[in-house]
Amino acid sequence: MVLHRHHGVCSDGASLYHLTKHHGLGNDFLVALAQHTPGLLPDPDRARRWCARREGIGADGVIYGLEAADPGNDTCMVLLNADGSEAEISGNGIRCLGQAVLRARGLAEGSLRVETVRGVRELHSVRGEVDGDLWVRVDMGAADTGPTPGPLSTAHPARRRATVDIGNPHLVLEVPEPDRIDLEHDGPALEAEYPLGINVEFITVESRDRIRLRVWERGAGVTSACGSGAVAAAVAARAWGAVDDRVHVVMPGGDVVVEHTGASMLLTGPSTFVAEINVPGPT
């Protein structure tokens, strides 16, 4: 693995995959853009190798920025989790992809339209630097009810519970103290009772505009932050009458802001550029 700013072919003639690494509040991703690697296709085996923390580069997932089907859109997002499975959407990941696209275009700021399997998402840079911390606002679309809670979810000693679909499925459990939850135990146990898996958020509502959250992410495990999970938590807490339309969601990695606009949910948070990375591809 070579970290530098050149891309194309290795000295031995092998092709290179040019990646950038970013994180959203510690939730980290490798981004591969089609413009840097002609013929780029999502590859679960390669994603697992790249994401491995000790044997690979290390990340919670790989985001592919492919050519958009509609020329009016900027890119098409495909996200493979660290285990190689595909995720429909990621609030942190889409901000990282947006930062990568802007950097590749040599732009310090801008707006983007990103195709996902759950529809087009619009992004707008708010403040910051594309080579550092860039705050991005994402229109995450409308929220809907998620899958029917399973028996374990219903029996969990939570004060309140809800499932939310924000392009991907979430189980939100309100508990007295998220820090006391054994995520490594409760997370996978709860996820396993949903045939397509589910992201699990343990939350405490601290005020009308503040939620504290810890998360177990489907396909990645314990992460320091989850953008779509923050949105799901805000949706559930608002439905319970516990928070207002604008809420700060505090996670181990940092804070995001979620706003309910009536038609959709807005997520604002940082993406941090880490490095450019070239890895050998097929010979």
Domain layout of the chain by residue ranges: 16-138+270-280, 144-263
Rounded Cα distance, 118 and 77, in Å: 10
Could you tell me the sign of the dihedral formed by the alpha carbons of 137, 139, 142, 144, in that order? negative
Q: Is the model's pLDDT at 9 over the cut of 70?
A: no
Position 193 scores a pLDDT of 96
**Mean pLDDT (whole number) for 158-174:** 97
Long-range own/partner contacts, residues 202-207 (CB < 8 A, 24 or more apart): 202/158, 202/173, 202/175, 202/178, 203/172, 203/173, 203/174, 203/175, 203/178, 203/233, 203/236, 203/237, 204/174, 204/175, 204/176, 204/177, 204/178, 205/174, 205/237, 205/242, 205/243, 206/250
Superfamily covering domain 16-138+270-280: Diaminopimelate Epimerase; Chain A, domain 1 (3.10.310.10)
Burial per residue of 48-75, b for 16 or more beta-carbon CB atoms within 10 angstroms, e otherwise: bebbeeeebbebbbbbbbbebeeeebbb
Q: Is the model's pLDDT at 4 over the cut of 90?
A: no
Q: Is the model's pLDDT at 1 over the cut of 80?
A: no
**Mean pLDDT (whole number) for 164-185:** 97
**Mean pLDDT (whole number) for 130-142:** 97
Confidence of residue 234 (pLDDT cuts 50, 70, 90): very high
Q: Is the model's pLDDT at 8 over the cut of 80?
A: no
**Mean pLDDT (whole number) for 126-154:** 96
Position 150 scores a pLDDT of 93
**Mean pLDDT (whole number) for 264-275:** 98
Q: Is the model's pLDDT at 186 over the cut of 70?
A: yes
Rounded Cα distance, 201 and 49, in Å: 27
- The pTM of this model reads 0.92
The per-residue pLDDT for range 190-231, each reduced to its tens digit, is 999 999 999 999 999 999 999 999 999 999 999 999 999 999
Q: Is the model's pLDDT at 43 over the cut of 90?
A: yes
**Mean pLDDT (whole number) for 94-116:** 97
Q: Under a CB-based contact definition with an 8 Å cutoff, are residues 225 and 264 in contact?
A: no
Confidence of residue 5 (pLDDT cuts 50, 70, 90): very low
* Mean pLDDT value across the chain: 93
User: Do 16-138+270-280 and 144-263 fold alike per CATH?
Assistant: yes
**Mean pLDDT (whole number) for 43-47:** 96
Look up the CATH architecture of domain 144-263. Answer: Roll (3.10)
Position 11 scores a pLDDT of 39
